[in-house]
A and B are shown apart, each in its own frame.
Chain A
Amino acid sequence: MEQKLLTKHIPGMDPMNVQAYLDVEGYQSFLKALKTRPLDIIGDIEQSKLRGRGGAAFPVHMKMMSMAKQKETTRYIICNADEGEPGNFKDRYLMENNPHQLLEGMLIAAYATRANKGYIYIRGEFDTPIKIMQEAIKQAKAHGMLGTNIQGSGFDFDLEIRSGAGSYVCGEEFALIESIEGKSGRTRVKPPFPTDVGLFGKPTLINNVETFSNLPWILSMGGETFASIGTESSTGTKLVSVSGNVKHPGVYEVPFGVPIRDVIDTLGGGTQNAQKIGMVQLSGASGPIIPEYMLDLTIDFDRFEDFDSKTGAGAIIVMDDQKDMFDILKRISDFFDHESCGKCTPCREGNVHMSKLLNKFLQSDATEKDLMNLESLSRVMHQTSLCGLGQSAPTAVLSTLKYFRDTYFDRIEHPQEGGRA
């Protein structure tokens, strides 16, 4: 069931030694790119139908094309490595185990969009990935893959690592850009989008670790071949972080189109003591919570549109039927209340009230009016918040209102029984 591309060479590879990457034909795609017209590279990526792995699933070639068309010649590339979404740990895995694959992906993107400066914004708590990426940059420089006039091509590219101070919202692209600029992590109003006015006011291409790590593979196998992996709308493979009540939590790489149930049962080994699965949260704290009977859903960007959560199954968090749904929801809500940047009203003021309302359910003190208020608040937050954080903070509540509605009523009508999902 697994199909390994991005993780193919990881077993046995020494991430601290560039030679290990070179031995598996590392940097060959970049060297090939240097002999290709930038627009042809973007064309190849268009054929691959690669979509961003960071959350919005935006077609990668469109961002790159938008960058390539800019008049401004100072342009930046940013790798979003601020993997702060609870339940996700696949970007960390890629950085810790195959750092040069990421560098190569960024080099290809930079060359194709004629950017000469790049940043890798790594989550502040990620000590090990920071160290490994620093070493990788050093070694790539020593091997002439970074710097001026790379491999005699006339192309210059320099790369720096930046990290935040632990704020979740800095994973949001504009908050991240503000953070690199030395400001506090608060998002900006869109439009303009980063490819028009990004870092330091210049056109900026921003993608996450997994997205960039796909580019060497697309160039080596060709866009068309890449597009044959996965499904029609979601091509390639997906790294999935499996956690919660499973026997074998970890990162797995599967082609798009695999049912979630198979990932949990076959790769995750099912629940630890064969407990019944109660809920599964997909994509992380900002993702939907679905019931067991929906697990035949396949991992596919478009299948997840229903939840307004395109992250697909970037994360699969398995919860058995003994968990109190309201305990889970309250924790998620507290997380967002803590992490909201405070810029826009619905997110700044909404999360605290969502948490208070959920606490009423948790304490078996909720009424039907509280349910109505929770539902109305969640919808407004989802529809009106400025950035992805506020828009997706109520996703867990909205999805449980849809799939576990009875649990809410049970708790209102039979508070003494508690409400197991």
Chain B
Amino acid sequence: MPTITINNQKIEAKEGQTILEVAKDHHIDIPTLCHFPDLDVQSDCRICMSEIVGQKKLAPSCSTPVKEGMEIKTNSQRVYNARKTITELLLSNHDTNCTACERNMNCELQTLADTLGIDENRFDNILEHEPIDDNNPSITRNADRCIKCGRCIEVCKNVQGIHVLDYMNRSHDTKVAPAHGKFLNDQVCTYCGQCANVCPVASITEKSDLEKVTHAIHDETKHVIVQTAPATRVSLGETLGMDSGSIVTGQMVAALRRVGFDKVFDTDFTADLTIMEEGHELLSRVKEGGKLPMITSCCPGWVNYAEQKNPDMLDHLSTAKSPQQMFGALAKTYYAEKENIDPNNVYVVSIMPCTAKKFEASREEMQVHKETADVDAVLTTRELGKMIKRAGVNFKNIGEESYDAPFGITSGAGAIFGATGGVMEAALRTVSEVVNEKPLEKLDFEDVRGMEGIKEASVTLGENTFKVAVAHTLSNAQKVLDDIKAGVSPYAFIEVMACPGGCIGGGGQPYTTTNAKRQERIDAIYNVDTAMKLRKSHENPAVNTLYEEYLSEPLSKRAHDLLHTHYKRR
């Protein structure tokens, strides 16, 4: 246990800790930019420099282990000068038109400049303008704002195993870009958006649909309805100044009404429906000797990855559409018919924790009618936060309200779709009871919960016991796929989510989603589940009514036409 001093305060550090870790444990703030919890230390930005008394050079706090007797200063004049100079240098090669930036007032570089009191940059701005990369539906990449911290490269390469982004050129011409300086849509980008989530500035963001949606809301001819994904209710609060893991379902519904949506529905409803279709598809594959293991297909980042990198695996994917797209298909058919509105005038907006959902909504396979997309616009959790602020809604103090019928009646099984393992657990609740024809003694499948990269469980259906697995992050998905390809996969059913932690850790979630925050959101979502009376998809009365009135039964002809899709090599 090394004893050190930081800013004249004597501290017992733990063996092997870096200066930054010790400082954090003792509530001493050291600014960082390239450093991000859960990612490898880069030590690139040099903002966290500290002074070690007796050493000529300054030391990066993020990568310097403390040693017995070290005397550290984190706020000396030398340290301050260094941080200030480095920040000025970053700003000198950065688009500093802050008021024209999506992350104005929510930017790590801007905050740093403010903290360090940079009122005038001593260095000329040398930025050379680069074209904006936004010819895809999901992600906007603005190189003019990039500070080359490398977080996006790390997350794309090491967490997702894709490596679309890397450094290009050198010296002050250094860029972070897809290979050969091309655009994201030329590459095997899955649009998972993890890069956007870790970006400290607004160099990578979602491609915003905020203006489009606002326009639709104010268009009198449109009946604008909205669906909210499971994960948004435990994360939206963070964008509006609340703690991570705050459950804000009722407030979100109320705020969406104040913003001007005509009806507020819940994607949890179609999550329950997904379980009905996907669960029965699994049973039919097992019974009829179909392709196993079956793999979930509700995550659009994962579907993109499968289509791009593993096209030989596509017949393992469930044909069931994602809850977002099932909602869209029903909104423009069943709902439009029921409400007697021209489907072309029904405008469907979804609130998603996800950037890839924007791409999913734009797929032509996802279009029931020729003239109109099933889902017209997708907003991320972050965009909704902005929309609520812009509309002058006092979110923290707004009263809770309930979703509209019929797509507002939901179960806890639908809610847990938001966490890794949730789709699997929801499916197991339903499939077990349907096959075994008796109620489960325990609804909680603890084995498939939590942040472990690949989890497994077994379930007994009738006389057979099946093994199932849950993988999150695309590098873990690839491991599971490699086993299938090698013929050694023991599983019948696999859930895959592209983002770490599942949708609660999605690319459209509030900025700076660390694993610690992911866990808080996961805890919250299971609390939502346990607080509900209905906790099994097949017991959702509105789902059952839908089958009675419209779809007749799972996997029916109409269900196939509206709720199932196909995949292709991309």
Are the CB atoms of B44 and A345 closer together than 8 Å?
yes
- How far apart are the CA atoms of A383 and B60 in the complex, in Å? 10
Q: Interface size on A (CB < 8 Å)? A: 36
Are the CB atoms of B44 and A349 closer together than 8 Å?
no
Q: Interface size on B (CB < 8 Å)? A: 36
Once A343-B44, A349-B90, A383-B58 are accepted as A-B contacts, the answer to whether A377 and B85 lie under 8 Å apart by CB is: yes
Once A191-B65, A344-B44 are accepted as A-B contacts, the answer to whether A337 and B82 lie under 8 Å apart by CB is: no
B97, CB-defined interface residue at 8 Å: no
B248, CB-defined interface residue at 8 Å: no
B310, CB-defined interface residue at 8 Å: no
B49, CB-defined interface residue at 8 Å: yes
B41, CB-defined interface residue at 8 Å: yes
Question: Which residues of B in the span 485-537 have a Cβ within 8 Å of any Cβ on A?
Answer: none
> Which of B43, B85, B90 lies at the interface centre, i.e. has the most chain A CB atoms within 10 A of its CB?
B85
- How far apart are the CA atoms of A351 and B47 in the complex, in Å? 17
Shortest Cβ distance from B121 into chain A, in angstroms? 10
Once A344-B45, A349-B90, A385-B46 are accepted as A-B contacts, the answer to whether A339 and B82 lie under 8 Å apart by CB is: no
Partner of B170, one of A342, A376, A382, A383: A342
Are the CB atoms of B41 and A346 closer together than 8 Å?
no
Closest to A391 in B: B57
**Which residues of B lie under 8 Å from residue A341 when comparing CB positions?**
170-171
B344, CB-defined interface residue at 8 Å: no
Are the CB atoms of A345 and B171 closer together than 8 Å?
no
Are the CB atoms of A342 and B172 closer together than 8 Å?
yes
Partner of A384, one of B49, B122, B169, B172: B49
Are the CB atoms of A186 and B167 closer together than 8 Å?
yes
Closest to B41 in A: A189
Are the CB atoms of A337 and B43 closer together than 8 Å?
no
Shortest Cβ distance from A185 into chain B, in angstroms? 8
Are the CB atoms of B148 and A346 closer together than 8 Å?
no
Are the CB atoms of A342 and B90 closer together than 8 Å?
no
B246, CB-defined interface residue at 8 Å: no
A350, CB-defined interface residue at 8 Å: yes
Are the CB atoms of A337 and B171 closer together than 8 Å?
yes
- How far apart are the CA atoms of A344 and B33 in the complex, in Å? 12
Cβ contacts A304-346/B at 8 Å (1 or 0 each): 0000100000000000000000000000000001111111111
- How far apart are the CA atoms of A391 and B82 in the complex, in Å? 13
**Which residues of B lie under 8 Å from residue A186 when comparing CB positions?**
167
A57, CB-defined interface residue at 8 Å: no
A353, CB-defined interface residue at 8 Å: yes
Question: Which residues of A in the span 359-410 have a Cβ within 8 Å of any Cβ on B?
Answer: 373, 376-377, 379-380, 382-386, 391
Shortest Cβ distance from B47 into chain A, in angstroms? 8
Chain A interface mostly? helix
Question: Which residues of B in the span 33-81 have a Cβ within 8 Å of any Cβ on A?
Answer: 41-47, 49, 56-58, 60, 63, 65, 78, 81
Once A337-B172, A344-B44, A344-B45 are accepted as A-B contacts, the answer to whether A376 and B81 lie under 8 Å apart by CB is: yes
Are the CB atoms of A342 and B89 closer together than 8 Å?
no
B174, CB-defined interface residue at 8 Å: yes
Cβ contacts B152-177/A at 8 Å (1 or 0 each): 00000000000000010111111000
Are the CB atoms of A338 and B171 closer together than 8 Å?
yes
Are the CB atoms of B57 and A382 closer together than 8 Å?
yes
> Which of B78, B92, B122 lies at the interface centre, i.e. has the most chain A CB atoms within 10 A of its CB?
B122
Shortest Cβ distance from A167 into chain B, in angstroms? 8
Once A340-B171, A383-B82 are accepted as A-B contacts, the answer to whether A349 and B89 lie under 8 Å apart by CB is: yes
Closest to A343 in B: B44
A positions within 8 Å CB-CB of B:
167, 169, 184, 186, 189-191, 308, 337-346, 348-353, 356, 373, 376-377, 379-380, 382-386, 391
B positions within 8 Å CB-CB of A:
41-47, 49, 56-58, 60, 63, 65, 78, 81-82, 85-86, 89-90, 92-93, 122-124, 126, 147-148, 167, 169-174
- In order of increasing CB-CB distance, the 3 nearest A-B pairs are A342-B174, A349-B89, A189-B43
Known pairs A345-B90, A346-B46, A356-B124 / 12 extra A-B pairs, C-beta < 8 Å: A189-B41, A191-B63, A342-B172, A344-B45, A344-B46, A345-B89, A348-B174, A352-B171, A353-B126, A377-B123, A380-B86, A385-B46
